[in-house]
Chains A and B, each alone.
Chain A
Amino acid sequence: MKVLLHDLKNIDLTNKADQVIVADGKYAPCQGCFKCWTKHPATCALKDSLQEMCRILGQADELTIITENYYGGYSPNVKRLLDRSIGTSTPMSTYRGGLMHHTLRYWKHDSLRVIVYGDIVEAEKETWRQMVKANSLNNGFTDYSVEFMNEWEGSVL
């Protein structure tokens, strides 16, 4: 399954993937309770549109994220969604890439593609490369890539 996650306002990307998720920020941030692992697995304790988001991200073979740049990391709306989706893994731990990580609830994913738009300085680009590499290992992606653009260009999809 191809999943596209973006924080673009007033831009319709509906047909660009099997599942398109708009990070509109109309949901609460993670409370850090871990109940999506220990109480009601793969379900968030907060009852809003992200309650079962991990079930969609967990089943994505190809995940594309379009996000505004925030200091070399995701925009608040996208990051909220990612923080609320750690149910994609289980509480049990293993080694991946020589580092400690959680075992995956679903399966190994093929590719993580991150497209960053906005004003991005060189140091932030370097941070992004490390960030996406870490994310891809943490979430069990085989492959990853990062692209940068000053303004969103629809032609890259």
Chain B
Amino acid sequence: MKTVFIDCSPKQRLSASGFVATFTRMFVFGRKVQCKLRTPKDFQPIFEEIKDADSIVFCMPLYVDGIPSHILPFLKEMENKFTNKNVYVIANNGFIEGRQNEPLMQNMENFCHRANLNWCGGLGIGGGVMMNVMRIMFCVVCALSLLQVVLNGFDFSLLKDSLDDALVILILCCGIISFDLWLAYCINNGKEYGKHYTRIMLPSFVFIVCADIFFTIISLFQGGIFRGWFSKKKPTM
């Protein structure tokens, strides 16, 4: 059994889509390949990988309620190139409601019908940016606490606080983790998954405050706050 994971984010590094691809891959058996789809140069190598694959997993961000534009020519070229391949989608979006991925899921289902591929369903994850930030923090926290333990002569009692942090992250991500494991189970057994939506386990008003703080800090560092952050700019070209 061979599964091809396609990371459809245009970001070179640290994309949420790349992370879900890697995470899901850990629970899928058999041969697995993960490819990055950013430019038309990537098309042919991915088609080569798909040739002998059983399943294809598209991991993509939601852009303006749909598929990111650079993926569309790839899908067009893929039409009628292959048959008998199972297609799964893992979408993630910035807003908290995973359901906002519904139009994208339908686009992918419509694509499968046109391309003669088996639509096996997909998972839509709300709060993708937060998930991405948390997994990066998770790694940093783990590394720092291990360093602390080593520097203090292997005093493992120092790990307690970091374990608490890790537990909070696991609770916030419990929906994502369980729906993703179920998806991996379906990939392994060639089963249909259906369409499911999940999210970071936070009430939306708390999530909105977190998102606002996140963008304020980044805009402060990158200077956007001082360059007409909210201003109604007129075209100059």
Q: Give chain A's interface residues, CB within 8 Å of chain B.
A: 29-35, 37-43, 51-52, 55-56, 58-59, 70-76, 79-80, 82-83, 86, 90-95, 99-101, 105-106, 121, 123-124, 126-127, 130-131, 134-135, 138
Contacts and interface: CB of A to CB of B under 8 A. Distances in A.
Contacts, number: 161
Given A30-B68, A40-B227, A76-B69, A99 B219 contact: no
Contact of B103 (A30, A40, A73): A73
Nearest to A39: B222
B73 interface: yes
Nearest to B209: A93
B69 A93 contact: no
B103 A93 contact: no
B235 interface: yes
Interface stretch (B26-34, B106-114, B145-153): B106-114
Contacts of B232: 58-59, 105-106
Interface string B100-124: 1011001111110110000000000
A42 B235 CA distance: 9
Contacts of B103: 72-73, 127, 130-131, 134
Interface in B44-82: 61, 63-70, 72-73, 75-76
List the 7 closest pairs (A to B, CB-CB), nearest first: A91-B215, A79-B69, A80-B69, A127-B106, A71-B110, A39-B222, A29-B70
Given A76-B73, A105-B230, 16 more contacts: A41-B224, A52-B236, A52-B237, A71-B111, A73-B72, A76-B70, A79-B63, A79-B64, A82-B69, A90-B230, A91-B215, A93-B95, A123-B106, A131-B103, A131-B107, A134-B100
26 contacts: A32-B63, A34-B218, A51-B237, A58-B232, A71-B75, A71-B111, A71-B114, A73-B72, A73-B103, A75-B72, A76-B73, A79-B68, A80-B69, A83-B64, A93-B208, A93-B212, A100-B96, A100-B208, A105-B233, A106-B232, A121-B113, A126-B106, A131-B107, A134-B65, A134-B100, A138-B65
